[in-house]
């Protein structure tokens, strides 16, 4: 089923619809040919829509530039963030999603044999990933126990066999999450 009439050259736009794995985001990609090759991305979130035009002159990091993605509280400007992500892209291949001023979701196409080294690199580059997330799971489990509730099953699976008393348990949880999901949410606040 065509969603639009053919272009002047008789070609129909290519359309792909995707859903975010967590179910709260969706996107539609439409590729049309005008005077050049353009991609229009419509990315929906629970609270509104944003539209972004990417053309052949733009690179994969333009969304970061447009959003001004930075880790200013860690002395990282947009170019620093882009440089680190480009390094990962060369080594592992990455996809960027949910780009905002202080955050980005990174999905790795491949992981290194030493996922622990990548987890350590992520922690050095973006400490909040551990300090405000994976490194807080002990408190999450403790709060659940105090209220008589169970921690979510995915959390229990992730922490199984990990010593939550170890000061570095957050980096180990990040490593396990990377090995399972091949993605990480980075944020600097």
pLDDT digits (tens, 9 = 90+) for 158-175: 999 999 999 999 999 999
Backbone dihedral angles phi then psi of residue 55, each to the nearest 5 degrees:
-120, 180
Q: What is the mean pLDDT of residues 42-59?
A: 42
Average pLDDT over residues 30-57: 38
Res. 18: pLDDT tops 60: no
Order the strands of the 103-108 sheet from edge to edge: 94-100, 103-108, 183-187
**Contact predicate 160/172, CB 8 Å:** no
Question: Angle CA(51)–CA(92)–CA(58) in degrees, nearest 5?
Answer: 35
pLDDT band at 121 (very low <50, low <70, confident <90, very high): very high
Order of strands, sheet of 48-55, starting from the edge strand that comes earlier in the sequence: 14-19, 25-33, 37-45, 48-55
The predicted pLDDT at position 140 comes to: 84
In which band, very low, low, confident or very high, does the pLDDT at 69 lie, cut at 50, 70 and 90? very high
Q: How confident is the model at residue 84 (pLDDT cuts 50, 70, 90)?
A: very high
Alpha-carbon distance of 68 to 88, in angstroms, equals 19
Q: What is the mean pLDDT of residues 60-76?
A: 93
């Amino acid at each position: 089923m065509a969603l639009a009439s053919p272009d002047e050259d008789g070609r129909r736009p290519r359309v792909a619809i995707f859903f975010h794995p967590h179910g709260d985001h969706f996107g539609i990609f439409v590729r049309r040919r005008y005077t050049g090759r353009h991609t229009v991305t419509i990315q929906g979130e629970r609270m509104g829509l944003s539209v972004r035009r990417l053309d052949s002159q733009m690179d994969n990091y333009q969304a970061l530039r447009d959003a001004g993605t930075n880790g200013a509280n860690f002395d990282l400007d947009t170019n620093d963030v882009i440089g680190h992500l480009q390094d990962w892209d060369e080594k592992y291949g990455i996809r960027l999603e949910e780009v905002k001023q202080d955050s980005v979701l990174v999905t790795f196409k491949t992981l290194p044999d030493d996922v622990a080294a990548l987890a350590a690199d992520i922690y050095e580059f973006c400490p909040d990933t551990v300090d405000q997330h994976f490194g807080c799971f002990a408190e999450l489990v403790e709060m659940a126990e105090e209220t008589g509730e169970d921690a979510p099953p995915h959390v229990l699976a992730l922490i199984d066999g990990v010593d939550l008393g170890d000061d570095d348990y957050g980096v180990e949880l990040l490593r396990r999450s990377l090995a399972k999901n091949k993605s990480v949410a980075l944020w600097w606040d």
